[in-house]
Amino acid sequence: QGKWLIDEPLLERVDLKFESKTIDYYREILKDKFSDVKYMSEFNHFSTLKKALVRDNKALKLYKSRINCDYLISTKLEMVPSNYPSVRNFSVTIIVYDLNTENIIFKNEYHSYRKIKSATSSKLQNFIDSSIKIAITDFSKKENWKFYTTVK
């Protein structure tokens, strides 16, 4: 099954509070799926390379050598600009890297749309929150992993 590392999410036009909410959802949803899960916050001596990873996957070698995990879960949260001011488009991208082969073994983009007038409303905050939870819950489903023997 291997050792898993959940990196801090990359945020694009999303409030910083959703970084910790995302990690909390991973903790809650994946606790029974993977037995050896670590979080970037556990490594004080190593900063996330999430921005470098977007440009170049050579960062995978650093993750492997410094943290010694087998898999890296990378998440991007993005409020996508819309042509319609009252329509909110939120995207969650989850990528899993095999750090031993430096290949992507899972990638999925989840999109949510909702008509919300105010960009500062609690409806928008709830929309983002539920979109993150839905994406991580879907990611953890067994059928997403049927081709990967390294995962339960």
Task: Return the C-alpha torsion angle 132, 143, 37, 148, nearest 10.
Answer: -130
Give the pLDDT of the chain (152 residues) as one tens digit per residue: 789 999 999 999 999 999 999 999 999 988 888 888 888 888 776 777 777 776 677 788 888 888 889 999 999 999 988 888 888 889 999 999 999 999 988 899 999 888 887 766 788 888 899 999 999 998 888 666 554 444 43
Contact 60, 52 (CB under 8 A): no
